[in-house]
Chain A
Amino acid sequence: MVIVSSRLGPNDAAEAGPFGAFLRQFRKNRVGVVGAVLVILIVASAIFAPFVVTHDPTRIMVGPRLAPPSLDFILGTDQLGRDTFSRAIMGSRIPLLAASVSLSSALAVGLVLGLIAGFGPRWLDNLLLLVFDTIRSFPSIIFALAMIALLGPSLASVILVIATTSMPIYARVVRTQTEAQRSSEYIAAERSMGAGTTRILAVHILPNVLGPLMILVSMDVPAVIAVEAGLSFLGMGVRPPTPDWGAILNDGYNYIDRTPWLVIAGGIPIVLATLGFTFLGEALRDIFDPKLRKDL
């Protein structure tokens, strides 16, 4: 599958760099631009969090308890008198960390298993497909809760659960793409020249599989953020007092009849992050591979 410059004529490849073409197309997608801006803001604030925060996010009683927003405490304070704004900024690190670690390990494992399933012998393919289908038929959050019950609540458990449950989807996509290319004539041609399986997979199949896979992964980021926040909301994620969006929302929920501010402030980062990554992912998919996973 030729992803970028497939419509270029024989001679204009040099002029229009693929990246320039991409930027031009991306700018037209206004929702995608909004998403990109949100994502950049969130990632930047996570990286530079120590410089952005106005108070120590874990220090209690820097202000009054459950205070409404004010000039000093932009988003108010929580039940322990901690600054909600600082906690929300600092809290972006955990979801982003969870997303990057879990998705990259799911990607690595899914890639390897998908290549094996798509290129290996038929029985192995069937076996792996069965395993993928089994994992996918576990009810995700309920399965996550079960794993956490066994492993104990922690960020590591959350990451492990997310990686395990998202891996089969990637593996399936890789498998399908590999399978489609396996019978293609250029693979036969490589074999006829004496190329070994490793070489065929690494040089010829992998580059063709990677594009759609990266798009899928980028579209899963919001879902992972939601799961991490959700599990922390249930008290199954990071341990207090580590600041985390889900945990802040949970604090707000516990004091919902005392103040609306904590709930509002706790939910907004989750909403912005999931929207930002979703809009960005959809725009990337529309540009690179409109056929991919059309139905969500």
Chain B
Amino acid sequence: MWLYLGKRIVLAIAIIAIAVTLLFLMIRAVPGDPAAVLLGPRATLEMKAQLHQQMGLDKPLVVQIVAFFGGLLHGDLGFDVFSQRPVADIVFEQLPYTIELILVSIFWAVMIAVPLGCYLAIRRNSLVDQVASVVTVATIAIPSFVVAVYVLLIFAVTLRWLPAIGAGNNFRDVLIHLILPAFAIGIGWVGYISRLVRASMLEILGENHVRMARSFGLSEWRIVARYALPLAILPTVTIIGVGIAWLLSSAVFVEVVFARPGIGALIVSAVNTRNYPIVMGVVLVTTFLIVTATTLSDVANAFLDPRTREKL
């Protein structure tokens, strides 16, 4: 187990290192002066010269990469010329909005999806189950930005029940502003998780000790709640870790549609203004988030299921 844990952490660090190197090389691969690329179109000559020296562009590539890593280890993601602030400050200012959105989305999705999955497992192959199996696939398939635009049209623009843009100020306001965005992100997860719960529930319900409990006359719901649910929920927990990339992608669109603050909105505006330091900062931070989340979920998986340990 400890060996697995060690290997998994080394792997995660290796992935982050390679990712950073790739990103660095990507910037360098863009034709033209990398300092100009990094600083964006509004950079002055002195700024370029200064950055040249800072980046050590006259030194060999390897030295540059090492210096880049050194900066990262100190939390230095670069400097934004537009706002005259460190990139790290800007990114970490926006990050909480995105995380809040993601957490609320996944929370409501789990709250709906787990009972739904249980219900469908109990009523397996009934009409409800068959209809649900189509509807859940549909909710997974429809892109979140389409859902976002449609709910915006219906509930904010047409019915005017909910606010269309922004993130809100006080607690109540924040929650109200979260309803539509969280719906757009979470609806696909409702489909996904309920299918997952249903499938693992059926697997568990087919096992011997559960059949035994049934033969003692326990009701189906009791059996589900007592025996099956704790086991069926585990794959869900670990899958969310893997799904963080998907969540972040949806968040980008939803933040744009609802004009919410967050790193999605940040990177879109940065791309539009060619503000490369911000773009790279967001990519680095989100990559780090994803690697951490997948590593955690792999490790959790390994603790729960010894078979996965062998695979690495």
Contacts and interface: CB of A to CB of B under 8 A. Distances in A.
A/B contact in complex, CB under 8 angstroms: yes
- Sorting the interface of chain A by its residue count into under 10, 10 to 19, 20 to 34 or 35 or more gives 35 or more
A80 interface: no
B141 A278 contact: yes
B271 A226 contact: no
A141 interface: yes
- Sorting the interface of chain B by its residue count into under 10, 10 to 19, 20 to 34 or 35 or more gives 35 or more
Contacts of B257: 253
Contacts of B294: 137
B143 A133 contact: no
Interface string A252-281: 110011001001100100110011001100
Interface string B24-62: 001101100000010000000000000000000000000
Nearest to A234: B268
Nearest to A141: B249
Nearest to A276: B141
Given A150-B27, A233-B145, A142 B19 contact: no
B235 to A, nearest CB: 8
A149 B15 contact: no
Interface in A130-188: 130-131, 133-134, 136-143, 145-150
Contacts of A234: 252-253, 256, 268
B146 interface: yes
A295 B239 contact: yes
B142 A134 contact: no
A134 to B, nearest CB: 5
B270 interface: yes
Contacts of B276: 149-150
A219 to B, nearest CB: 10
A142 B143 CA distance: 16
Interface in B255-269: 256-257, 263-264, 267-268
Contacts of B27: 150
B138 A149 contact: no
Contact of A260 (B158, B248, B256, B283): B158
B274 interface: yes
B245 A139 contact: yes
A235 B272 CA distance: 9
A219 B156 CA distance: 34
Nearest to A144: B249
Given A133-B15, A134-B15, A263-B150, A139 B287 contact: yes
A279 B239 CA distance: 23
Given A142-B282, A146-B279, A234-B253, A267 B149 contact: yes
A274 B143 contact: yes
B157 interface: yes
Nearest to B288: A137
Interface of chain B, helix or strand or loop or mixed? helix
Contacts of B268: 145, 234
A142 B149 contact: no
Contacts of B145: 229-230, 233, 249
Interface in A211-261: 222, 226, 229-230, 233-236, 249, 252-253, 256-257, 260
B304 interface: no
B267 A142 contact: yes
B191 to A, nearest CB: 10
Contacts of B150: 263, 267
B283 A142 contact: yes
A141 B265 CA distance: 12
B11 to A, nearest CB: 7
Contacts of B37: 150
A148 B27 CA distance: 12
Contacts of A139: 245, 248-249, 283, 286-287, 289-290
Contacts of A138: 19, 283, 287, 290
A143 B289 CA distance: 13
B245 to A, nearest CB: 5
Contacts of B111: none
A130 B14 contact: yes
Given A142-B267, A226-B143, A270-B146, A137 B15 contact: yes
A282 interface: yes
Interface of B: 11, 14-15, 18-19, 22-23, 26-27, 29-30, 37, 134, 137-138, 140-143, 145-146, 149-150, 152-153, 157-158, 192, 196, 199, 235, 239, 245-246, 248-249, 252-253, 256-257, 263-264, 267-268, 270-272, 274, 276, 279-280, 282-283, 286-287, 289-291, 294
Interface of A: 31, 130-131, 133-134, 136-143, 145-150, 222, 226, 229-230, 233-236, 249, 252-253, 256-257, 260, 263-264, 267, 270-271, 274-275, 278-279, 282, 294-296
The 4 A-B residue pairs with the shortest CB-CB distance in the complex, in nearest-first order: A141-B249, A226-B143, A278-B141, A139-B286
